[in-house]
């Protein structure tokens, strides 16, 4: 795997600047690498109707999907300095749609370091495309 996680982390950090977070003031940046070697970034986009907010991870994933760049092969996520920022449950589900269980995900920790994990560790037993595929011909 050619992924340079440090470059992906830096891209996620830089992406925070694009966040629209006037309500939470919690800017998040994300970066995903795709199988073709491209990189896509995202940031959270909030809404006055709070529940319509879209997280940084999902805006990054959707940018990759819209560019025709699937699957995702690495992910980096960071929030404000001094805050540990793992992906929320909804984003884990969306990441599982487009990345295999062994795909690395690195997220920023409060101490300035990074925690490295995988999509499969973050969402074991995911309800993923294979789940629906397995049902073909049954229903």
Q: Which stretch binds ligand THU (CB under 6 A): 10-18, 63-71, 87-95, 116-124?
A: 87-95
Closest distance of CB 130 from ligand THU, Å:
24
Q: Which stretch binds ligand THU (CB under 6 A): 3-11, 55-63, 66-74, 98-106?
A: 55-63
57 included as an active-site residue: yes
DSSP for 14-27 reads HHGGG-B-TTT---
Give the count of beta carbons closer than 10 Å to the beta carbon of residue 76. Answer: 31
What are the residues facing 40 on neighbouring strands? Answer: 32
Does residue 45 contact residue 57 with C-beta atoms inside 8 Å?
no
Closest distance of CB 136 from ligand THU, Å:
32
| Subset of 11-30 contacting ligand THU (CB under 6 A) | 21, 24, 26, 28
Question: Quick check: 55 binds ligand THU (CB under 6 A)?
Answer: yes
Does residue 90 contact residue 61 with C-beta atoms inside 8 Å?
no
């Amino acid at each position: 795997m050619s992924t340079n996680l440090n470059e992906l982390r830096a891209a996620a950090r830089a992406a925070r600047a694009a966040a629209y977070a006037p309500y939470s003031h919690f800017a998040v940046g994300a970066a995903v690498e795709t199988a073709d070697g491209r990189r896509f970034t995202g940031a959270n986009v909030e809404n006055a109707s709070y529940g319509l907010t879209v997280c940084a991870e999902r805006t990054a994933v959707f940018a990759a999907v819209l560019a025709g760049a699937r699957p995702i092969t690495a992910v980096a996520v960071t929030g404000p300095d001094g805050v540990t920022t793992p992906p929320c449950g909804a984003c884990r589900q969306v990441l599982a749609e487009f990345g295999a269980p062994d795909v690395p995900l690195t997220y920023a920790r409060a101490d300035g370091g990074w925690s490295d994990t995988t999509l499969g560790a973050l969402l074991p037993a995911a309800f993923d495309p294979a789940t629906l595929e397995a049902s073909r011909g049954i229903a």
